[in-house]
Amino acid sequence: MSAQGTPTPPIWLLPEPPERRWGLGRAEIVRTAIAIADSGGSDALTMRAVAKELGSSTPMSLYRYVHNKDGLVDLMLDAANAEVTTPEKPGEDWRADLTRLSHDSWTMMKRHPWFAELVHQRPPAGPHASRRQEFVLSTFVGLGQDLSAAVSYHRLLDGYVVGQALQRSEEMKMWQRQGFRGLDDVQELAGAWFVDVGSDAEPRFPLLERVVKDFLGADPHAPATPAEDVQFTLGLDCLLDGISTRL
Amino acid sequence: MSAQGTPTPPIWLLPEPPERRWGLGRAEIVRTAIAIADSGGSDALTMRAVAKELGSSTPMSLYRYVHNKDGLVDLMLDAANAEVTTPEKPGEDWRADLTRLSHDSWTMMKRHPWFAELVHQRPPAGPHASRRQEFVLSTFVGLGQDLSAAVSYHRLLDGYVVGQALQRSEEMKMWQRQGFRGLDDVQELAGAWFVDVGSDAEPRFPLLERVVKDFLGADPHAPATPAEDVQFTLGLDCLLDGISTRL
DNA sequence: CCTCGAATGTGTACGTCGTACACTCTATGT
DNA sequence: ACATAGAGTGTACGACGTACACATTCGAGG
């Protein structure tokens, strides 16, 4: 990544390349990049990979359109953000609004597991992100909160959603990490990953061990995991409860 | 990083190198790596940099001790986690316990801004992390919750703390991004980063703009920022409120 | 229809990263 | 004093992002 050399400014500062007469375009590039990251994870997102997928033999073609990789990431994040529908104005029921918004974001991040990993690598200044943030802020300000409290609550909510998504993508990686056969490996892993497990009679982390066993005992190829959504909703409700007592 | 090739298992699976007779040691390596990351950020954390700092001319010396970079990161994360004191057993007042634990973690992550960026890049299986997790789980289980609820609440809290730390380190990077002179640049930035700002008369994101101005208007070299801690505490309390109504 | 110039794609190459492999050096037990 | 395991070094490879010069392609004016 750009690391440190010259921390790239958001791509929005740079002019959109003029209307293309032939050749590639931002939209196509971003779509391809998203497809790659969707299927291969954020590690698979490589300028070379995107270029190859597009048929271009070298990655250099892309640079005319996206300026650099950080710019491409900016565009991907914004495209993903565009998939969650943000109301124009706060409605009657603030809690319903925010619940819907959070759930929309959550399903978007389930669709794009790379989002949570990449979003912390760029300043959060995309147009759609800004729009959503403005909406949430205005919701709380409309409820009589001052701006700094509104910012706090927005952070709280946003951090929660992204954090859950991050944790989810970690778990997915854990599954990919090795192909399990059965519960034998589970035992091995549970015993190995958590050091100082202690004797069988008195394990050092009994609860943790049960969690790991439950987790690893589940079918990795189970289609849908409603439990995930239930957990998400529980946390969110609990958070909104806490907020609402403070309004 | 290891990217994808062979997702490195946690370093605790590998035997600690036998007691050194001369030369380096894990402790010294990890200490140096943490010092580098503390001062230069997670981007500065390079095997080469660590080796140079240690006086070794090549990074290869390190590999006998830490196996690979992921292993070094595992050790760094665990060392940082060791800095937050986890009680042996849940006490009388669960809320005080968790508040103290969260605040401890938060100050640790303020001390080590790289922590939040690196923690999501490795499985959360370090001994100290496990111990803290076990403590939180047992707190909730002791309150009569079932295990999956306990896991939810733990995630909620942990995700909150790390998320706040992540946001903080993002802001710090934003400061470093360029050396501001005064409010002129601020105006420019505020107008530029948030696209479609709209006319001066009717900005498209009025609240957001105020937030950015407030943020950029503050003194970047202000020593302590108690406001930060106040925000942290607000969110945490609000979260604990939400949890406590569900117990 | 041909040609010219701007818009677009390509090849090559550099610097950085993690790290494998073979090598040399060092300190210790005999 | 010397063999030997334990430790550090040098060199090198492949992947990455991307700068720069070059080749190619298209659309408009003669």
Q: What is the pLDDT of residues A183-195, one digit of tens each?
A: 455 455 555 565 5
Q: What is the distance in angstroms measured between the alpha-carbon CA of A218 and the sugar C1' of D10? A: 49
Task: Report d(CA B41, CA B113) in Å as an integer.
Answer: 7
Cα dihedral A217/B68/A164/B146 (nearest 10): 40
Reported as half-sphere exposure (CB side, CA atoms, 13 A), residue A103 has a value of: 14
Which of A13, A147, A152, A188 has the most B C-beta neighbours within 10 Å, making it the best mutation to test the interface with B?
Answer: A152
In this complex, the answer to whether residue A84 has its CB under 7 A from any atom of chain D, a nucleic strand, is: no
Question: Tokens in use for A57?
Answer: 């033999």
Task: Report d(CA A42, CA A200) in Å as an integer.
Answer: 39
In chain A, which residues have their Cβ closer than 8 Å to the Cβ of B131?
A: 205
User: Rounded to the nearest 5 degrees, what angle is found at the Cα of B183, between the Cα atoms of B178 and B189?
Assistant: 55
How confident is the model over B219-236, as a mean pLDDT?
Answer: 80
The proportion of chain A whose per-residue pLDDT surpasses 90, expressed as a percent, equals 61
- Count of CB pairs separated by less than 8 Å, A with B: 184
pLDDT category at B8 given cuts 50, 70, 90 is confident
Q: Which residues touch strand C (CB under 7 A)?
A: A 17-18, 20-24, 56-58, 60-61, 64; B 1-2, 8, 21-22, 45-49, 59-60, 63, 68-70
Q: Which nucleotides of C are covered by protein (CB under 7 A)?
A: 7-12, 16-22, 26-28
- The per-residue pLDDT for range A11-47, each reduced to its tens digit, is 876 666 666 667 788 999 999 999 999 999 999 999 9
Task: Report d(CA B104, CA B124) in Å as an integer.
Answer: 18
Give the minimum alpha-carbon distance from B56 to chain A in angstroms, rounded to a whole number.
Answer: 24
Amino acid A234: pLDDT: 92
Nearest nt (C1') from B70 Cα: C18
Question: Tokens in use for B225?
Answer: 């920022």
Single-letter amino acid, residue A9: P
- Indicate yes or no: CB of A238 within 8 angstroms of CB of B245: yes
Q: Is the pLDDT of residue B157 over 60?
A: yes
Task: Report d(CA B61, CA B23) in Å as an integer.
Answer: 10
Contact yes or no for A222/A119 (Cβ under 8 A): no
Amino acid B56: pLDDT: 78
In chain B, which residues have their Cβ closer than 8 Å to the Cβ of A156?
A: 160, 235, 238-239
Three-class SS state of A85: coil
Amino acid A224: pLDDT: 62
Q: What is the distance in angstroms measured between the alpha-carbon CA of A34 and the sugar C1' of D26? A: 30
What is the Cα A37 distance to its own chain's centre?
A: 12
- What does pLDDT average to over chain B? 85
Amino acid B41: pLDDT: 94
In this complex, the answer to whether residue A70 has its CB under 7 A from any atom of chain D, a nucleic strand, is: yes
Which range, A94-103, A151-160, B168-177, is most confident?
Answer: A94-103
Q: Is the pLDDT of residue B92 over 90?
A: yes
Q: What is the distance in angstroms measured between the alpha-carbon CA of A115 and the sugar C1' of C18? A: 25
- The per-residue pLDDT for range B19-69, each reduced to its tens digit, is 666 778 899 999 999 999 999 999 999 999 999 999 877 899 999 999 999
Which residue lies nearest D5, CA-to-C1' measured?
B21
- The per-residue pLDDT for range B183-215, each reduced to its tens digit, is 455 555 555 565 555 555 677 889 988 888 787
Contact yes or no for B139/B67 (Cβ under 8 A): no
